Structure 1
Amino acid sequence: MDHVNTAPMVRSGYVTKNRIAVSLLFLVNGFIVGCWAPKIPEFAERLQLSKFQLGLMILVLGVGSLTLMPIAGAQIARYGSKLVAQIAAVCLLPALLALTLAPNVATGAISIFLFGGFMGAMDVAMNANAVAVEQSMRRSIMSSCHAFWSLGGLIGAGLGGLLIAKVGVLWHAQIATALAAIVLGVAWRMILADPPHPDEKKEKLRLPLVPLPWLIGLMALFSMVPEGAVLDWGALYLREELGASVALSGFGFAAFSLTMSVMRFGGDLVRDRLGGVLTLRICTLFAISGMLLAAFAPNAEIAILGFALCGIGISNMVPIAFSAAGNIPGLRAGIGLSVVTTMGYSGMLVAPSAIGFVAEHIGFSVVFMALPVLLVVVLLFSNLARYADGISGGGH
């Protein structure tokens, strides 16, 4: 996520291929994550999980990610991002099949741990590769890379709900795995080979004592909790509390991903015009409005519209927080980014498990009513986004 390539400029033709390749890596990762969203209700039903138990499973997914992400970071420092991205992507490919075929809670837990782990490891590696491509091109591509992640999530969630309804979960997993493998195959030879960075590991061990990166990390954390909530619980909320069909329930995260990807493709332009602070404030207001609309929705269609509005908001909140982290005065970019990315990802990966525990007792609509409180905190700290107007960062 915060790895810098010191390699010399490469010829423009190869730069184009490198950019296509890293964009396809983001697309594959987002697609597999998106495919998971409409599978969640069936996964819970097959293993006879209560909301509390499903919350524990989602916690295991988060723990898997947070376990393998720093390991991936260390391996990138030793071997470069290309090799780590390739290995993590190959290991991630069979994850949907493993989750579909898991016959009991124990195998389900192992599968979901590995799914989260390889998803997170690939995420770190592809972010590092995107930074390396940025360095070789001497221009920012991070927002568009994350737009491809959101686009993958949109295709995965939208197609997933329809395929599950039409051909069942096993065929869905097989088709999704084959599609992901084909796209990965196209990208494989074009991925930029960046040199290792052996000094970075030592650098990251020194945690900053100044409060600024931790406050920006809190903004990233509170921005990513709602994203995790929509990903992990949106389909279940639409099905259980609003009576949506299997196919329709997949469109909650799909609508969220659609608006998010569209806004991320234009994110750099908007931020250049309005500046980080105003962009963050507008985005946060959209996110609050969307989440409240989803919470108070009388039917699934209105809730999906709410998730779409929320996607408009969340789209550029997280990239702004990461950009600010990489541009804190007097602090090396890698140190600020390592704090903020870890805090932010823990919000998306671990916090949704707590939502499952709470929803067991009070229902999802009340949870979605409460999430805007976190976004209000982001609004209160929005002036810190002024640091984002210096560089580009990365993150979902």
Structure 2
Amino acid sequence: MAGIATGYAPVSQMSRLSLIAGYADSLITFRGSLMAALAKSGVSVTATAPDIDAAMGARLRSLRVLPVSLSMQRTGMNPLQDIAYAARLYRLLRKLDTEIILAYTIKPVIYGTLAAWLGRVPRRYALVTGLGYAFTGDRKGMVQRIVSLLYRFALARAHKVFFQNPDDERLFRQLGILPAAVPSVIVNGSGVDVGDYAFKPIANGAPVFLMIGRLLGDKGVREFAAAARSIKASVPFAKFQLVGWIDGNPDAIAQAELNAWIAEGTLEFLGKLDDVRPAIADSTVYVLPSYREGTPRTVLEAMAMGRPIITTDAPGCRETVIDGENGFLVPVKSVDALVGAMLKFIEDPALAPRMGKRSREIAEEKYDVHKVNAVMLREMGIIPGGEENTHA
């Protein structure tokens, strides 16, 4: 393979990997199966993220993973705090004598890759799981320019970059954020354990439309609420359930706005759930009107459990739906189109079970976490093979 990774030590000499994350809960939820696969392959894994508590640490140790809590400013762009975070990463990687890093989400990718480069970590991999606040919506100002410059500087020092959809990869290439010399690979999201998220038949009765996610404007929460309000005016028995939480993101839904939806009866708010499977099992259709994603994990979970999907014809979202087969694609920000798609399931009760069955098939064929992890391990040289999916 032509490119930056050529000439590095063979996999047999690469046994200590640090997984660098920006959010502790994501370690188990999104990377638990990957860490288990790494450990099974003989790799010594350390996982670092802010705010790893005792319970999370115990769960990581059960996977044979060493947890290290490392503070980080998750939102905001205070350069002193970000430099301090990079310095902490540098010291950690040197202390662990890390041989491979895999970083995901914006700040871990930027500062983790740079810290690993300065620390002479032999293999440096980045996973772009979505573009984040700086790139979504209509934001093309100073924040995006700064993030792009930081990304470009860091990714020039990566050996390979993983993307979860082709649109993000194409954008990074077109904008010059990802240098031509650095190989890239598209993987099918984070995958889903189709055994843990087992198929559940859709119950008869009033249709239940479910949305799960952080309560952000860019996730399409307002469009979901507006569609719910419109439909309940003529179909009062339809149910609309929302699972999630408000965090410190600048695009977060205000608590007062959420309270108003609940008070008027538009939405049933279930809060933040440690296990979303009961909510999916009780639902008829899964809805995610997001403006852009890497590949939405909640959609994969709903597909695995046999739920049809309504999502947007947007990067990361459109890959999960074959329009008319396992759900419907609607334009970003179009409440009318969202209402129209929901009404199809209300008017034809046989539609959801038929499309849900197809969702399960696609989840098994394309998004099985073990298949996704095998691609990543091959491309990182952990197991034999790889490079057949590599772009340069």
**One fold, TM greater than 0.5?**
no
The structure with more helix, counted as a fraction of residues = 1
Higher gyration radius (CA):
2
Could you say which TM-score interval applies, normalised by the shorter chain? under 0.3
Higher RCO, 1 or 2 (CA under 8 Å, sep at least 6)?
1
Query: Under a length normalisation based on structure 1, what TM-score does the superposition of the two structures give?
Result: 0.25
TM (norm. structure 2) is 0.26
